[in-house]
Amino acid sequence: MKLEKNYFADVRNDDLTEIGQARPRSDVPGHVSGKTVYFADRHIPGTLHLKMVRSPHHHARIRSIDLSDAERHPGVARILTAKDVPQNLYTILILIQVGPEDEYVLAQDKVRWKGEAVVAVLADSERAAAEAAAKVKVDYEVLPAVLDMEEALKPGAPTVNELHPGNYYLYDSGDHRKVRFGDAEKGLVEADFVLEQTYRSSPIEHAPTETTGCLVVPEGNDRFTCYTNTQAMFFTLDNASIILQMPGHKLHMVGGTVGGGFGGKVDVTVEPVAILAAKLTGRPVSFIYSREEEMQISSPRAAETITLKDGVMKDGRIVARKVTGYTDAGAYSRHSPYGAQKGAAHYPGPYTIPNVWIDTYCVYTNRTPSSAMRGFGVTIADFALEVQMDKLARLIGMDPLEFRFINAYRDGDMKAHRQPTEGAALIECMQEASRLADWPVAERFMKMSSYKQEA
Amino acid sequence: MPKVPIQLVLNGEERAEFVDSGATLLKVIRDKLGDTSPKGGCHQGTCGACSVEIDGELKLSCLVLAETCGGADVSTVSSLSSDGVLHPLQRAFMENFAAQCGFCTPGMIMAAKSLLDRIPDPTRDDVIEAISGNICRCTGYEPIIQAILTAARANSLTAA
C-alpha cells in the first residue's frame, strides 16, 4: 500500500501512524484455522426446525388455511399462523419514525409477493418440518398483480398494499421526495445541448455464502437467547420486542461474525417468529434460510428507473439537471423509502450544477420486498449519472475525464440541497486516476485543487 | 429414524458415532463430531464451503452420506495447524487479505491444499481451476489466487 503525500501537501500533517500501513485483520487467524464461530456453529440438542410455508402467488387473498394433515405429521411440535403473533403488523424503520407499519410477520388475509411467509411449521427434524409444510393447505383467491413500477403508479392499477394507496410511499413532502435548486427549466432552455436518457436496473441479490438465520434458546430465567447473523442487532432487538410484545430485557441477542451480509442481513425476518416459536413450545428453535430462500426470499437491492435530463454548454459546464427516479420497494417498505430519499439527495452527483430539479418516488409492486445493499439509493444512481456523464462528454466532443474536472465540486461550492461543500478531494482523486490509468488530461486540470480556487 | 454406527478417522483421530441414516458427512462432522470448520452455504454442492478431504481426495461433505464413510480418513482445515503453528497456506491467506467474512475460507484452503498436494508449483490457471468450485462473495478472488501462489512459492523455496 502506498500513501500519496504530494496531494494536500501544504495542509496535511504527516503524523499518521495507521493510515497507509498494512495491518492484519483481527479476526483472520480464526478464519484461516476454522475456529471463527458463526451463529450456526452451535449444536443445541432438542432443537426444533422451522420451515416456512410461503406464498406461491404474487398477489392473492387467503380464503382459508387447513393445518389438519400437517399437524398430524410425525415429529410436528407446533404450527404458527398470523393469529399467534402478538403484534403481527410491523415495519423495521418505525424505530426512527419511518412508518406506517405495513408488513405482516405471517400473512394475514392476503399475500402480496411470491414467497411471502404464511405458516411456520416446527418439527423435530428438518425433514419432518419440510414434509409437514408440504401438507399445509392454503386456499388462495388469486388477484391481479402489478410487477412494474410505471404500471403500479397508473390510475386503476391493482392496490399492492392497502396501507399505501396509489402504490407509492407518502412522504411528508407528498408522493415523492424533491430537491429544487435554481431554475432547471430555464437552465435547460439556455443550454447549448440537452440530453435526456432513461436508465433501468434489475433487483440484485447479495448472495452471501452464509444464509440468513438464527438459533433461539429459551432459558431457565424466562429469557430467550437468540444467536443471529443479523447485521442490525438493535433493529432486530427492538423490532422483536415490539412484534412479540415482550420487554427487551427478556431478549438476549447474540451476534458475532457474519458470513457475508452486504446489507442483505439488516431485515428482521427470522428472529421474531423463531423467538415466538421457542416461547410457545419451550424448546430451542432453528430457523435458517435454505440457499433457495436466500436467493428468492431475502430482499434484494431495489430495481430502479432513472430519467436524467441534463443541459450542457459547449465549454463543458453542466448548467441544469432534471431527474425523476423510481425505486421499486416490492410489496413492503423495509428500507426502501429511505433508499429513495437518499437518491434524491445524491442525484447531482459530485458535481456543481446551478439548476437542479429532482423527484424520487418509492413505489410498491407485487415483487419481493427490496431493502439495503451496499450504498442502496445511490449506487444505481451513480451508475446512471456516470454513464450520463460519458454521454454528455461525447455529445460536446470533450474528453470524459476533463469534462468531470470542469464540473467537479470543490470546497465552497453550494450543493443542490444547500449544503456548502467541505473537504472535497475529487479533483485530487481524478488527478491520481489520470496518472495511474495513463489517461492524460490537459495541464490546467492537473494544476487544479479542491480547496484552492484559481484566480 | 434408524441410527447407523460408523467409525472413521477425523483429523488423525479415531472416532465412532451413531448417525441418522441419510445424514450428510457435513452434518455429522459439525453436529456429532464437534468440528464446525466445514461450513454449509448451500447444502447442494454448489458453494464449496463444506470442502474436506476424504482419503486424500477433495470432496463436498454436503453431498456425501456419512454412512458411506466407514473406515475413511477425513480431514478438515482444522487438521492443517498444530500447536498454534499455521500451515503455509493459512499464513498466506492471512498475509494476502484473502479472507474477509471468512465463511468460504476453510473450504477454499482445503481446495488449495488439494491443489498443492497434486501440483506443488501451480500456474495461475491451475489455481483458478482448483478453486472454481468454491464461491467467495467478499474478495473478488484475486487476493485468494495471490495467497495460493505465494504459499506455493514459499513451499518450493523450503523444498529447494
Q: What does the block give as the cell for B150?
A: 505465494
Tell me, yes or no, whether B15 and B73 share the same domain: yes
What percentage of chain A carries pLDDT values higher than 70?
A: 99
For residue B105, give how far its alpha carbon lies from the nearest alpha carbon of chain A (Å). 6
Number of domains in chain B: 2
Tell me, yes or no, whether B107 and B74 share the same domain: no
Cβ contact B46–A291 (<8 Å): yes
B62 vs B158, more confident: B62
Residues on chain B touching A257 (C-beta within 8 angstroms): 101-102
Give the pLDDT of residue B71: 97
Question: Residue A222 above 80 pLDDT?
Answer: yes
Tell me, yes or no, whether B96 and B149 share the same domain: yes
Q: Which CATH number fits domain A48-143+207-296: 3.40.50.970, 2.40.50.140, 3.90.1170.50, 3.90.550.10?
A: 3.90.1170.50
CB neighbour burial string for A193-214, b if at least 16 within 10 angstroms, e if fewer: ebbeeebebebbbbbbbbbbbb
Tell me, yes or no, whether B72 and B93 share the same domain: no
Tell me, yes or no, whether B124 and B70 share the same domain: no
Give the pLDDT of residue A352: 97
Of A25, A33, A290, the CB nearest to B81: A33
Q: Which band of pLDDT confidence, cut at 50, 70 and 90, is reported for residue A24?
A: confident
Tell me, yes or no, whether B69 and B134 share the same domain: no
Tell me, yes or no, whether B12 and B71 share the same domain: yes
Domain of residue B54, residue span: 3-78
Give the pLDDT of residue A45: 94
Mean of the per-residue pLDDT values for chain A?
96
For residue range A153-198, what is the model confidence (pLDDT) as tens digits?
A: 999 999 999 999 999 999 999 999 999 999 999 999 999 999 999 9
Which of B78, B99, B121 terminates a domain? The answer is: B78
The values of phi and psi at residue B93, to 5°, are: -65, -40
Asked if domains A48-143+207-296 and A165-204+300-426 share a fold, the reply is: no
Q: What is the mean pLDDT of residues A56-62?
A: 98
B94 within some domain: yes
Q: What is the pTM of this model?
A: 0.95
Tell me, yes or no, whether B71 and B94 share the same domain: no
The values of phi and psi at residue A105, to 5°, are: -60, -50
The domain segmentation of chain A, as residue ranges, is: 48-143+207-296, 165-204+300-426
The CA distance from B130 to A212, in Å, is 28
Of B78, B95, B101, the CB nearest to A34: B78
**Which residue from A411, A390, A387 is spatially nearest to A402, judged by alpha carbons?**
A390
B66 within some domain: yes
Domain with residue B60: its CATH number is 3.10.20.30
Give the pLDDT of residue A15: 81
Mean of the per-residue pLDDT values for chain B?
95
**Which residue from A354, A352, A334, A350 is spatially nearest to A264, judged by alpha carbons?**
A334
Q: Tell me the residues of B at the A interface, defined by beta carbons under 8 Å apart.
A: 1, 30-31, 34-44, 46-47, 49, 76-78, 80-81, 86, 89-91, 93-95, 97, 99-106, 109, 135-138
Q: What is the mean pLDDT of residues A393-415?
A: 97
Domain with residue B96: its CATH number is 1.10.150.120
Tell me, yes or no, whether B99 and B154 share the same domain: yes
Tell me, yes or no, whether B28 and B47 share the same domain: yes
**Which residue from A8, A286, A267, A342 is spatially nearest to A121, judged by alpha carbons?**
A286
Give the pLDDT of residue B154: 86
Residues on chain B touching A29 (C-beta within 8 angstroms): 86, 94
B83 within some domain: no
Tell me if A267 sits within 8 A of A293, measured CB to CB: no
Q: What is the mean pLDDT of residues A332-338?
A: 96
Q: Which band of pLDDT confidence, cut at 50, 70 and 90, is reported for residue B160?
A: low
The CA distance from B155 to B73, in Å, is 25
For residue A47, give how far its alpha carbon lies from the nearest alpha carbon of chain B (Å). 12
Q: What is the mean pLDDT of residues B124-152?
A: 98
Q: Choosing among A1, A26, A33, A206, which should be mutated to test the B contact, i.e. which has the most B CBs within 10 A?
A: A33
Residue B122 half-sphere exposure, CB side, CA atoms within 13 Å?
25
Q: What is the mean pLDDT of residues A247-254?
A: 97
Q: What is the mean pLDDT of residues A12-37?
A: 88
Question: Residue B1 above 70 pLDDT?
Answer: no
**Which residue from A55, A72, A31 is spatially nearest to A112, judged by alpha carbons?**
A55
B138 within some domain: yes
For residue range B87-130, what is the model confidence (pLDDT) as tens digits?
A: 999 999 999 999 999 999 999 999 999 999 999 999 999 999 99
B15 within some domain: yes
Which of B30, B57, B78 terminates a domain? The answer is: B78
Tell me, yes or no, whether B73 and B106 share the same domain: no
Question: Residue B156 above 80 pLDDT?
Answer: no
The CA distance from A33 to A37, in Å, is 11
Q: What is the mean pLDDT of residues A268-280?
A: 98
B54 within some domain: yes
Q: Tell me the residues of A at the B interface, defined by beta carbons under 8 Å apart.
A: 24-25, 27-38, 40-41, 43, 125, 206-211, 257-262, 290-291
For residue range B49-71, what is the model confidence (pLDDT) as tens digits?
A: 999 999 999 999 999 999 999 99
E strand map for A314-389: 318-330, 356-364
Cβ contact B103–A34 (<8 Å): no
Residues on chain A touching B36 (C-beta within 8 angstroms): 34, 37-38, 41
Tell me the CA end-to-end span of chain A in Å, nearest whole number.
Answer: 36
Look up the CATH number of domain A165-204+300-426.
3.30.365.10
Task: Give the torsion through C-alpha atoms of B147, B152, B153, B159, to 10 deg.
Answer: 150
Tell me if B109 sits within 8 A of B50, measured CB to CB: no
B69 within some domain: yes
Of A24, A258, A291, the CB nearest to B101: A258
B137 within some domain: yes
